[in-house]
Structure 1
Amino acid sequence: MRLQTIESRLGGRTANALGLATRQLKVFDLLTPRWAYVFRSVTAAALAYWVAYTLQMDKPYSAASTVMLVANMNQGAVLAKGSWRLAGTVVGGIAAIIVMGLFIQAPALFLIFFGLWLGICSGAATLIRGFRSTGPAVAGYTLGFATYGALEVPENALSIVLGRVASVAVGVVCLGLVTAIFSRRAARGKLEGAITRQLTMIGRLVLDRVENNPERVQDVGATHIADMFAIEDLLELSRAESTDVAVRVGAVREGLAGMFAALLGARELAFASVARDPSFLKARELVGAHLPAAIGRIETGDRAGLQAALAEIRGLHLSLHQIIAELEVAHDRADVIIALDQLLEVIEDWESGIAGLLGLNGVHAHPTRGFHFHRDWTAAVENGVRALLSIVIAGGIGIGVGLQQWPLMLLLLAPYSILMAMTGDPVGGAWSFVRGTLVALPAAFICVFLLLPSVNGFPLLIASMLPFWLAGFYATTVPRYVFDGMGFLVAFNTLVYAQNQMLFDGAFFLNEALGWMVAVIATLLVLKLILPFNPVARAHRYETAFRRAVTMAIRKGWTGRRHAWEHLQHHRLVNIAVSLKARPSVAAAVLTEALGALHYGRTALRLRAALQDDRISERALHFGNAALDAAALDDPATSLTLDSLFEATQQSDHQGGEDQAITHRVAACIRNLSILKQAHGAWIAATRKIA
């Protein structure tokens, strides 16, 4: 009997209690992907311990700590993070050998060089996207890990560095092996599903706009934009997970850029003023016939269905292009030309999205095309300077007051500060590490002084730590407790200090615990006091870059592919939305203006393309260039100038249908620029910061 049937036959309170109990039991369902990840991670940590003990490493717990830092529910993330962590460790180890050879007897110079190295690596990690940022970040703080023990025993510097590299290699290999055996490559399926859902959503959005159905028409907001760029992250995961996807990244990314352009273009579609025009009615009939059929074929998900959908949309594309060509020759209604031009552009972009999904399932590899992403140099400089100052100040204070555990403070301050600085909420992440460490201290004490003294042998050692590992790894599966769980696992594993000769020294444990607590609190203070993260200022930087890009597109155009220019602006829009997620009303207002400004830039690029047509008359060319010059001015009142240029273009002399068609196209673009300038010109010209 189904659960719903049972609940329907019970009373209200009993049914609610049963439902609550069912939901609670699902948390402990050991067959869910969440628990599968937990068990994989625990197995990998135990394997790392076993290999480290077998190889007689000095600090076998360090290999398990690597597992805890790299572990992820996705196989692609494990492979990517692990490989870049290992590469960063090797680079950091080489830097550590050089530094210890030069400054091992001069603590002040060592602190300065360590701070400079960490600052450079922190800035590089800020500028690099995705999993590749793990490389420079790890290279930065590995210098601290590698020199931690060598500060007291310089003669063992080389062996300590090699031991650190070996520990990371063991952890990465063990986790990669366990993940490869006990997990499946799921990122590609998720990627295909996400692209399919977004394609169908955009197709229905366009259909609702064309049919002018107010009940179903939805606006495009921050959520839609974030969902689109989440596919970019899935693509990176799939790329790391599968070579088949890696050789097709170019086609997929081209399709994603087209989908994003179609999504934002669909937002601008409005046909109320041309609803009764015969040309629009003909176009609407074509869209109503072809678009639903294409959406249905996309939803099948197979290659044949995608090919049929692409053929359907290409037929619609050609038909709409023919209608617009006839319209440009037949009469000069700019509003109809503008509306159908926008519709055609959206259909073209949507067609690119289908081609990208088809390319993912294609037989042949595709060349990777260049797409630009915004690099926040200000944030990179801030993170680099903060890293430098934090190491120098904290180390100076530790040496000045004679703190015995000052090397441990630097050992933890370096990785925690650089990793938290790369998140969207550094202070919140630091608080999470403080909470996780607070829980880890008593847990480690219980394990070291109550459980481990009474056990003997490797199996019982792992069994004693297993409950704590399970709790920590499970916490990392809950979004709000990810950093709490990570902080707990690393602190617990290190404070237990499991090695070839176990040490049950209360004074040593308390010193280590105190040093660890001081380090995480110092990390919190550093992130709060030294160049604190300001999401509003970050959003303003992206907003300024966005405005500048639109203005430059109007003044100088764009020599590359339109999708490449739009992809860069889309990335900036996503970062604006992410930076202002705590202030949704402000984010909505900024995105509304920014999307309008993006449409303004697209229209300018469309006009510039029309001016390069060989059929254009000299007068239309003159008026078009004058319109671009006026559109580039910061004064919103230039919309009046654009209106005058529109009227002059319409009345200009022309000789024959071909010249008349391109003249009407130029006039329509100028008219569209005037409308958009009046609506969004003030925002594009503004320099004030976000309130």
Structure 2
Amino acid sequence: MGVVAIGKWFGALPLPFTSSTSLYVLRSCMAAALALCVGLYLHLDSPFSAASTVLLLVNPVQGAVVGKGLHRIAGTLVGALAAFVLVACFAQQMILLIVGVGLWLGLCVAAMSVVRHYYATTAVVAGYTVCLALGPAIAEPQISFEHIVSRATAVVVGAISLTLVTVLFSRKTVEARIRDTVISLCVKAAALIAEKYAQPADEQAHRKRLDLAAEINRMDDLLGLGRGESWVISDNLKAIRSGAAYLQSALLEHELPADLSVLESTDAVSATGLQLASVSRALSEHSLSLAEAKVRVRTIRDELASKTASAPQSSHPEQRTLLAVRRLDEQLEEFALALEGFSSLEQETAHVHRPFRFHRHYADGLRNGIRALLATLLAAAVWYISGWDQGPTLLAVLGPYCTLIAAMPTPEKGTESFLRGTLYAIPAALACKFLILPQINGLPLLLVSLSLFWAFGIHATTLPSRAFQGVAFLIAFNTLVSTTLVPTYDFNDFANQSVSWIIALGICLLAYQLLPKRNDRNFDGLVEALHRETLVLLRQGAAGSDHSWQVRQQHRLASLAALAPATLDSQLHHEYLGRLSLQLARELRRVHADLKHLDPQDPIAQLIGAGLSRLARSPQNYPRMILQSHRTANSLRRLGAMHFAAIFEDLAWLLGQYRHVQSKKVRSS
């Protein structure tokens, strides 16, 4: 039975070549072979480390390799500098040196958790470079300088080799994917906005908009890959991200009941919905470019304005009608600006200025950093208590694994995948090192022999369910097989290294057991940030609701839609709070913008200023704010300022809804 189980376990390994991945596997093997050859030519202490760098960084997407190449080298240089500083300060004090390594690794893991894309790459490489460089230096401080230089050189050689081979032998694919994604997002957005013009939005429509806003967030990951692959994306990255921010803003517009009754009775609005639906169809059929769609949307805006101005006055107050149409007009303009930003992909000149800001999970980053420090200290304790000669290996393994596991939503499953990949690698390395390598002679046969094993792991990285197993297999196999310039075949050393890999993974898992990663903390952190920034908005008014504030709130709200909390009702409440927060910001900005056109000595301007000041003095006293908004609206109505009166009535309604949902959330918690 045991033999059958082992056979099934190893039979689950994927084939090394398929029609869709064979070129990627061959290209990656070529890059690893090139790095190994250069490492041997430069007489590095550990030439296999250059190939290990390639195997750690392989990716089928050219942009993921090329775009991050420079940042990998920068991270290596930063890590090498940090290693020099640590050795210079604590070379003769082993405990302080290990603590310094742990603190540096924790700092880099925390930074990796907070920043994005290429900056995260720099932080990751800077972290594990110190672990790779200082592991042996802790035991033998006299060789620290040579070892740091050798390790840093190996990483640089590996990064350059992989980048060179990728540029020469791979195709650019991300730019086309980004164009298709952008068009798909615009088609869906136009259809959803058109539905709003046709009928009042229900909760299901809001759910669709939030899901689409979450898709826009995910597109930024594609942009991170594309900027390294395409000059068009790199040169127009700000315009594209600005377009994404405007598109989110247009989607997350919250309807007010006072507007809905007006829109239902306005024929011009229904016509606008039909015209937007035709724009959506034209974009989906590729009969309309993004730039042409922008012109079409602005034409629709002009037609809406002219029809509204020429229409006879309905039963609704004229200012209420104008205010409702103005909000829809602003939504159309934001959609047009989104199309303008995206049209830069078509070599059009874009003049958009709204940045795409991100919410930073600082608390999550701090926890990840503390776990990395804890794992380092646990490894040092095992080393110190046991007196084991594989302590440097423990530290060298912990560096990359702590950074990779920290980015996973479920570290336990990730650690299990790494463990399976390592258990695959140990017998493979044993067969290669002790059965194959002693029988061959010459570099070509060495490269062919290694490539036969590399191919399995490289192919596994293309399969989502086996990607982490593939990475673990490649790194463990290459490290266990590696030799110095003079080959040695010591089985006891091999066995010790194999056990150290398993123990290092166990230490990583133990660190997450002692400080477990709870994904609900991200959800709670987003909700807390939404509410905290809303209070800032109420205290500071338009000064606290600039475009950066709004875009960060949009990112938080869209991120909430991408998470899966315990109950759907809870998620809907929090998303509703986010929509109300964004609409409060729009209304306050609208008041301040219109206030600039009034004489400061005008009684209406003074009354508006006094009303805004009263709101800012009691940002958490919702009944008082609602009462002040109603009083200000009534006073403005008596002075004939119907436009401002309508806005303050809407502010009162928004504050009332926010108070109701917030109090309901507090009671449920």
TM-score normalised by L of structure 2: 0.88
* Maintained 8 Å contact 1:429/1:483: yes
Match of 1:516 among 501, 522, 525: 501
Q: How far did 1:533 drift?
A: 2.0
2:531 corresponds in structure 1 to: 547
Q: Compare 249-258 and 121-130 and name the one that shifted more.
A: 121-130
Secondary structure of 2:43's partner?
Answer: coil
Structure 2 gap ranges (5+): 1-11
Secondary structure of 1:677's partner?
Answer: helix
* Maintained 8 Å contact 2:619/2:625: no
Q: How far did 1:566 drift?
A: 2.3
Aligned amino acid, residue 408 of structure 1:
T
Is 1:274 aligned with 2:258? no
Aligned amino acid, residue 143 of structure 2:
N
Q: Compare 572-581 and 159-168 and name the one that shifted more.
A: 572-581
2:240 corresponds in structure 1 to: 252
* Maintained 8 Å contact 1:426/1:533: yes
Measured in 1, the distance between the counterparts of 2:608 and 2:200 equals 38
Q: How far did 1:463 drift?
A: 3.0
Q: How far did 1:93 drift?
A: 1.2
Change (3 A) 1:35 1:584: farther
1:660 corresponds in structure 2 to: none
Matches of residues 460-609 of structure 1 in structure 2 within 5 Å?
460-530=445-515, 532-559=516-543, 563-580=547-564, 586-609=570-593
Aligned amino acid, residue 100 of structure 1:
V
2:223 corresponds in structure 1 to: 235
Q: How far did 1:641 drift?
A: 2.0
Q: How far did 1:31 drift?
A: 3.7
Is 1:93 aligned with 2:80? yes
Q: Compare 231-240 and 634-643 and name the one that shifted more.
A: 634-643
1:64 corresponds in structure 2 to: 51
Change (3 A) 1:269 1:477: farther
Matches of residues 14-33 of structure 1 in structure 2 within 5 Å?
30-32=18-20
Aligned amino acid, residue 473 of structure 2:
F
Change (3 A) 1:418 1:210: same
* Maintained 8 Å contact 2:358/2:552: yes
* Maintained 8 Å contact 1:70/1:81: no
* Maintained 8 Å contact 1:630/1:641: no
Aligned amino acid, residue 461 of structure 2:
T
Is 1:130 aligned with 2:114? no
Change (3 A) 1:237 1:410: same
Measured in 1, the distance between the counterparts of 2:391 and 2:638 equals 79
Is 1:262 aligned with 2:246? no
Change (3 A) 1:644 1:169: closer
Q: How far did 1:507 drift?
A: 0.9
Is 1:653 aligned with 2:631? no
Q: How far did 1:284 drift?
A: 2.0
Change (3 A) 1:370 1:689: farther
Amino-acid identity (%): 30
Aligned amino acid, residue 385 of structure 2:
G
* Maintained 8 Å contact 1:405/1:515: yes
1:435 corresponds in structure 2 to: 420
Measured in 1, the distance between the counterparts of 2:47 and 2:358 equals 40
2:398 corresponds in structure 1 to: 413
Measured in 1, the distance between the counterparts of 2:537 and 2:500 equals 54
* Maintained 8 Å contact 1:261/1:563: no
Matches of residues 451-462 of structure 1 in structure 2 within 5 Å?
451-462=436-447
1:665 corresponds in structure 2 to: 643
Aligned amino acid, residue 302 of structure 2:
L
Count, aligned residues: 653
Aligned amino acid, residue 534 of structure 2:
V
Is 1:341 aligned with 2:319? no
TM-score normalised by L of structure 1: 0.85
* Maintained 8 Å contact 1:553/1:605: no
Structure 1 gap ranges (5+): 1-23, 655-662
Matches of residues 46-195 of structure 1 in structure 2 within 5 Å?
46-195=33-182
Deviation per residue, 1:536-591 (Å, 9 max, x gap):
22222221111122222233234498543322112222443445467666434432
1:397 corresponds in structure 2 to: 382
Q: How far did 1:479 drift?
A: 2.0
* Maintained 8 Å contact 1:476/1:486: yes
Q: How far did 1:388 drift?
A: 2.8
Aligned amino acid, residue 568 of structure 1:
R
Measured in 2, the distance between the counterparts of 1:329 and 1:670 equals 22
Measured in 2, the distance between the counterparts of 1:323 and 1:35 equals 61
Change (3 A) 1:397 1:458: same
Q: How far did 1:519 drift?
A: 0.5
Measured in 2, the distance between the counterparts of 1:559 and 1:371 equals 19
* Maintained 8 Å contact 1:92/1:143: yes
Measured in 1, the distance between the counterparts of 2:481 and 2:105 equals 28
* Maintained 8 Å contact 1:49/1:61: yes
* Maintained 8 Å contact 1:66/1:168: yes
Deviation per residue, 1:308-348 (Å, 9 max, x gap):
32222112223334566678998626764554333222211
Measured in 2, the distance between the counterparts of 1:276 and 1:95 equals 65
* Maintained 8 Å contact 2:239/2:353: yes
Q: How far did 1:269 drift?
A: 9.5
2:301 corresponds in structure 1 to: 317
* Maintained 8 Å contact 1:624/1:666: no
Q: How far did 1:121 drift?
A: 2.4
* Maintained 8 Å contact 1:248/1:368: no
Q: Compare 519-528 and 137-146 and name the one that shifted more.
A: 137-146
2:659 corresponds in structure 1 to: 681
Secondary structure of 2:95's partner?
Answer: helix
* Maintained 8 Å contact 1:555/1:629: no
